[in-house]
Amino acid sequence: MLSAAWGLYHDVLDIAGTLATEEAEDSAQVAKLRSALESVDHKRRKILQQMRSDIALLTVEDGGSPIRNPSTAAEDARLASLISLDGILKQVKDIMRQSSVHTLTRSKKKAMLSSLDELTERMPSLLDIDHPCAQRQITDARRMVELIPEEDDPLEETSHSPKPLTDLGSTAEIDVAQWNVLQFNTGSTSPFIIKCGANSNSELVIKADARVQEPKGGEIVRVVPRPSILENKSLEEMKHVFSQLPEALSLLALARTADGTRARYSRLYRTLAMKVPSLRDLVTELEKGGMLKDVRS
């Protein structure tokens, strides 16, 4: 019985080894290959667990010695690479979806190209076999974005009347599986709550009251832009970015200077993202890429 299980275990390893060497051409193949490897890995672990139980029994009864398990490092590394690749391709797909327009404002186009740069910087997390697929998809998306005609950004409103805060990010909430709660106390206002999570595109999403003080306007949901969006922006331009987010974020991030604001926003982004387990790897990648500029200037 044990020898039969051992033979089956080796068959599963052979399948995993074959899958680990297959190259994926597009997102559909990546998803299919990832699913197959995960399924085989689950089956391997199940067989191994049963074998360990049998081996433990034989060791007690017959004085046998445990069997050493073959290494699955290559298969595990490929699965981890495919998971990272899947995340990259999902974000590329989202950018391409946003590219299905006739024109883009200069700031929007710049932000989309910056996002593609960030995805390129995440490629070192992939195995060499997965680089061509990621590079091809990112290059195609970049070409598509670059070909879209630009238009001037709309002039900022000079009115001091508060903007109506409609819940434009409500669709983001659908993707968030779990909210994590943080409480902040600035000393100048009552403590306020920010809930944070991640959507299926591995983006940081927050839910908080529209305003800190009454009338608070109810909770709104927003995807939090990465710190790179503030690069080369003036303080006034940053305020415009923050005006689209819950007021709490603006209070926590704004400083007297543009450089100070970039540093504070980077620290805040890190704090919020680290509260979400699925985004911790992203924080590490942003740190390695120098995208979290939280050193005071």
Query: From CA 150, how far away is CA 152, in angstroms rounded?
Result: 7
Q: Does the residue 77 lie in any domain?
A: yes
pLDDT band at 283 (very low <50, low <70, confident <90, very high): confident
Task: Please state, rounded to an integer, the average pLDDT across all residues of the chain.
Answer: 77
7-21, 109-123, 183-197, range with the lowest pLDDT: 7-21
The distance of Cα 95 from the centroid of its chain, to the nearest Å, equals 14
- For 208, phi then psi, to 5°, come to -155, 165
Exposed, middle or buried, 182 (CB in 10 Å: 0-12/13-18/19+)?
middle
pLDDT confidence bin for 163, thresholds 50/70/90: very low
Choosing from 148, 182, 201, the residue where a domain stops is 148
Which tokens sit at 178?
């779990």
Q: Are residues 177 and 234 part of one domain?
A: yes
Same domain as 184, residue 107: no
User: Looking at this protein, which amino acid is placed at residue 86?
Assistant: D
- Which of 17-21, 168-172, 231-235 ranks highest by mean pLDDT? 231-235
User: Is 155 or 73 the better-scoring residue by pLDDT?
Assistant: 73
Tokens of 47: 């067989």
Asked whether residue 159 is domain-assigned, the answer is: no
Within-domain flag for 198 = yes
Q: How many domains are there within the chain?
A: 2
Establish if 153 belongs to a structural domain.
no
Residues 277 and 241 in one domain: yes
pTM for this one?
0.44
End-to-end CA, the chain: 68
Kindly indicate the confidence band of residue 122, based on its pLDDT and cuts at 50, 70 and 90: confident
**Do residue 101 and residue 7 come from a single domain?**
yes
- Would 106 be classed as within a structural domain? yes
In a domain, 118, yes or no: yes
Cβ-Cβ contacts under 8 Å for 133 (sequence gap 6 or more): 23, 24, 25, 26, 30, 85, 89
**pLDDT at residue 212 greater than cutoff 60:** yes
201 and 261 share a domain?
yes
Q: What is the pLDDT of residue 64?
A: 52
What pLDDT, in 10s, does the model give residues 134-162?
A: 999 999 999 999 998 988 876 544 333 33
Q: To 5 degrees, how large is the angle CA 90–CA 96–CA 100?
A: 145
pLDDT: which is higher, 47 or 155: 47
Which residues touch 59 (CB under 8 Å, ≥6 apart)? 65, 66
Range of the domain at 114: 2-148
Structure tokens at 41: 């890995």
On whether both 126 and 243 belong to a single domain, the answer is: no
Whether residue 260 is found in the same domain as residue 141: no
Is the Cβ–Cβ distance between 178 and 195 less than 8 Å?
Answer: no
Q: Are residues 32 and 114 in the same domain?
A: yes
pLDDT at 142: 92
Same domain for 246 and 198, yes or no, is: yes
Question: Is pLDDT of 94 > 80?
Answer: yes
Query: CA-CA distance, 217 to 237, in Å (whole number)?
Result: 24
Q: Which two tokens stand for residue 53?
A: 């139980």
* Residue 166: per-residue pLDDT: 38
| Residues 133 and 182 grouped into a single domain | no
Domain boundary among 132, 148, 164: 148
Regarding whether 192 and 143 lie in a shared domain, the answer is no
- Does residue 75 sit within a domain? yes
d(CA 34, CA 59): 36
Say whether pLDDT at 83 is over 90.
Answer: no
Q: What does the DSSP 8-state code read for residue 276? A: S
Do 129 and 178 lie in a common domain? no
Q: Is residue 70 part of a domain?
A: yes
What are the percentages of helix, strand and coil residues in the chain, rounded to 5? 60, 10, 35
Instruction: Look up residue 233 and give its amino acid.
Output: K
